Structure 1
Amino acid sequence: MNLLYINRPNFDYIQDFIYTGLISVLGKEQVIEYPWNFKYHVNHRPYPKNIGLVTGNFFGSLFSKVDFKNIDAVILSSCHPFNMQKYLEIMDKIDTNVPRIFLDGGDFPEVAGDLSRLGGEEIYQEIIKKRPFDLIFKREYLLNKSYEANVHSLPLCFNLKHLPSKQTSNYKYDVAFWAVETAPIRTKSLELLENKFDCKSNGTVRNQVMSKYKRKGTFYLEELQSCKIGLNFRGGGWDTLRYWELAALGCFMISQRPQIKIDNNFIEGEEIIYCKDDLSDLIELCNYYLEHEEERKRIGSNAQKRLKKHHSNIARARFIIEKIEALQND
């Protein structure tokens, strides 16, 4: 299967995770990036800015030419006007029977909803008027919202290649939530926590600024792994990378319950603990699991096992490929 992967040079969670997953499943020759993307071939930024990196194909990809007549499916990999414009420029070069797939990794619940803030709505409308998408994969697929039958849930995931080389058993922090206040629940949680446990000393405080973070790259993941309890609350959307990072690291997680569709989600009480939406039980839950180490470790370990099986970048890529193949065989 030859996939034409319409991408943009900027960092993009869904776009970059799925690119590496598809490469792992299909191979480098079968996933044709368009336009050529420098950051997919040169490790010039630390995690998570490098999650799209695939080594060993720099020159082969740089000098390759796209044969638009030899494409089995087209993937528009991001809900961004850059991707829309690039796709619009070449869509007439591709046979109309070739399946068209749209990965909507935006924060808005509506399909292509992020274009209302980014621009590009008119381009999107022109695209779907000429040739509608056969499959749409939606990150913020709300549980309480209806979608067309060709729209499928596609939350974030984790590339296991980015796990720290050693899994730590030495905990440095009790309870941590290092995050900027992009949603009211984040502010409320930080207000509750700031003078509890070791939160203030470990940086779980109000008014954090991402550009001033000292925990970056692999060191950030090592620090996250060093937490007895890692917390997760929604940001601009329900789906957060933290939700998947904590599980990938085997870290015990207390989270707000995501209101998006997640197939094979973590099992409450066995692999994750959900707090109440008003956070009225958050401190109580933290106290309980700080005192029950074995239970805490077991839940973290169980979450890690589920993530490796169902929520890696490779698992997400296989899900997309299965849907494309089903479409082609229909």
Structure 2
Amino acid sequence: MRILFITHPYPNYVPDLLLHGLRKLLQNRVIDYPKKDCLYQGCLGTGVSDESLLVKGWFPDDNDIDREDIKNKIRKDYFKYIIVDLRAFSYFFKNLYQGDLRSLLVLIDGEDIPQRISPGPYVICQRETDGSDFSIPLPMAIPEEIMQLIYSYDTMEKKYSIGFLGSYSPLCYERKNFIETIATHFPDSLLKTTPVPTDDNPMPQGRIGRIDYYKALQQCKVVLNIKGAGFDTFRFWENFCCNAVHLSQRMPLFIPHDFQENKDFLSFSTATEMITNVRKVLDGLINDREMILSSRERMIKYHLTTHRATYLLNKLKGYK
């Protein structure tokens, strides 16, 4: 099986994580085209990355990746699947598409808000869906390399009751309200929100590097996830790797082999419910060790990027 993965140069969690999983499964039989340089440089999700945000070596190298004569290979049906980041949709149809494809064409919508995609000769996968819109639900997953990196700080001393370190923008106004509530009730919490990085300001004041970020989370008894512009955040997956109880805002999304509420993590919809759950953990009413171990077991079994890639390949067997 050979797969052509049409990329956009800007980092994008869902297609990038899928590409990571596919490359680990199928190695050089998965061709990223054009070569997505930022992944090999260590970028992960953040489009504007200060050096301290990079994770060198998280993405497999591109040894023996044959990017020659792609247009002719498409014409000769060299690839079983052609997977396209929706951001590269126009590039593909303008530069590579030649009609009458025998390869199955797959579009990946990894945007915060589901995009309106006209019907066409392709399968649609979406990040932000509950599975009722005829697309294939494709949430994020965690690279094993990142999971092991977070695990390496498991023995950090617990200094904070609950932690949330993230960005804010007008698209995620709820974060501000929840964070202010946490700060009022738990003065020993670790809370910090900073603007989203830009080209002019790639490292906003208060933002910390990735290693320091993971160390800080591992010093918390509870780690918090609040929706951003979309519900499926990379923080959701990172938190499950922490040696801490994960408390997450409920998400109306379909996740294959989903984590189980009150077994693998705690969830909330309102500020009152959020505070109540934090108190349960701090008062010892939750078996935190059992919950952490359960969530990690499910993560390792179902939610590495290789699992997400396998899930999609199995779904695609039902087409064409």
Return the TM-score normalized by structure 2: 0.83
Say whether the 8 Å CA contact 1:175–1:198 is kept in structure 2.
no
- The CA deviation at 1:187 is 1.7
| CA displacement, residues 247-293 of structure 1 (integer Å, 9 cap, x when unaligned) | 12343111111111122111111101112x22113222212201218
Change (3 A) 1:85 1:259: same
Say whether the 8 Å CA contact 1:215–1:223 is kept in structure 2.
no
CA–CA distance in 2 between the matches of 1:39 and 1:62?
18
| Greater share of strand | 2
Say whether 1:38 aligns with 2:37: yes
Change (3 A) 1:248 1:51: farther
- Give the counterpart of 2:211 among 218, 231, 236: 218
- The CA deviation at 1:324 is 2.3
The equivalent of 1:132 in structure 2 is 121
Change (3 A) 1:86 1:323: same
The equivalent of 2:201 in structure 1 is none
More displaced stretch, 262-271 vs 33-42:
33-42
- Give the counterpart of 2:237 among 244, 248, 252: 244
CA–CA distance in 1 between the matches of 2:36 and 2:67?
12
Structure 2 stretches lacking a partner, 5+ long: 44-48, 197-203
- The CA deviation at 1:194 is 1.7
CA–CA distance in 2 between the matches of 1:48 and 1:98?
37
The equivalent of 2:130 in structure 1 is 142
The equivalent of 1:89 in structure 2 is 94
The equivalent of 2:152 in structure 1 is 166
- The CA deviation at 1:294 is 6.9
CA–CA distance in 1 between the matches of 2:166 and 2:229?
12
CA–CA distance in 2 between the matches of 1:56 and 1:234?
32
Say whether 1:255 aligns with 2:248: yes
| CA displacement, residues 167-192 of structure 1 (integer Å, 9 cap, x when unaligned) | 42322321112223342331221121
Percentage of identical aligned residues: 21
The equivalent of 1:287 in structure 2 is 279
Change (3 A) 1:302 1:142: same
Change (3 A) 1:156 1:281: same
Say whether 1:75 aligns with 2:68: no
More displaced stretch, 263-272 vs 191-200:
191-200
CA–CA distance in 2 between the matches of 1:54 and 1:3?
17
Counterpart code for 1:152 = I
Counterpart code for 1:295 = N
- Give the counterpart of 2:179 among 190, 199, 213: 190
More displaced stretch, 61-70 vs 223-232:
61-70
Root-mean-square deviation (CA, aligned residues, Å) is 2.6
Spell out the pairing of 1:189-208 with structure 2 (5 A cutoff): 189-199=178-188, 202=190, 204=191, 208=194
Say whether the 8 Å CA contact 2:165–2:213 is kept in structure 1.
no
SS at match of 1:208: strand
CA–CA distance in 1 between the matches of 2:141 and 2:20?
12
SS at match of 1:239: coil
The equivalent of 1:13 in structure 2 is 13
Counterpart code for 2:211 = T
Change (3 A) 1:53 1:247: closer
Structure 1 stretches lacking a partner, 5+ long: 114-123
- The CA deviation at 1:155 is 1.0
SS at match of 2:271: coil
SS at match of 1:36: coil
SS at match of 2:287: helix
**Count of residue pairs brought into register by the alignment:** 298
Counterpart code for 1:40 = L
The equivalent of 1:178 in structure 2 is 165
Return the TM-score normalized by structure 1: 0.81
